[in-house]
Amino acid sequence: MEALLYENHSTFRLNLFLHFTVSILNLVLDKDVSSSSLFYELSAEKYICPDYASLHTIKNGSTHNSKPKCLCKSCGRQFVINPEKRTISTETKALIYKLLLERISMRGIVRVTGVSLLTVIHAKLWAAILAIELANQLVNYGQLFQLFIVNMQLLILIFGTLTKKLFRINVTEQLGRKPDKQIILSG
């Protein structure tokens, strides 16, 4: 069982290849090399720097989640070995926006959705920027009637004060575009 684990490990296979290559070269050149120094050189795992693509790296402690960190000696960058980036699903994002509209506290949203507080803060900041942009674009239309989110699309109902009509505006993520409007009721 243990042999199967080592068989799939790419670093082990590389070390094994290097060990056999050095052994064959030493036999050809008739040199006597101690196996302990060779084992020490081959057992140290090397990690590639994401920025500099250098193998001149050393282990540099661990993160607060006990993941090992490395330091590139060429460029000085610290990086985590095998980082795991977790993405937040669109359903969770929609739930965050709904809870923000319901004026639930940010820590309450964190407890309900299971995301970090920083994610909720970024969502609230994005919603605030979007609201400011919408307010600037919709000044000429009239009075805000209702604001809601459906399938990650922000929908706004606006009552036109001059036209006496109810408009539904679908706001996309591209804030530079003029929002699509559709008349729902005419007065």
Q: Name the DSSP letter for residue 81.
A: S
Q: For residue 177, what are the contacts with CB-CB under 8 A and spacing of at least 6?
A: none
Single pTM value for the model: 0.38
Q: How far is CA 129 from CA 84, 149, 158, 170, in A?
A: 29, 16, 19, 16
Q: Name the DSSP letter for residue 140.
A: T
- Could you give the CA distance from residue 77 to residue 52 in angstroms, rounded to a whole number? 9
pLDDT-derived band at 108 (thresholds 50, 70, 90) equals very high
Q: Where are the domains of the chain?
A: 1-44, 46-84, 90-186
- Stronger pLDDT, 51 or 27, i.e. the higher one: 51
pLDDT-derived band at 172 (thresholds 50, 70, 90) equals very low
- Provide the residue type at 173 as one letter: E
Percent of the chain with pLDDT over 70: 45
Beta strand residue intervals within 49-132, DSSP E: 57-62, 68-72, 78-80
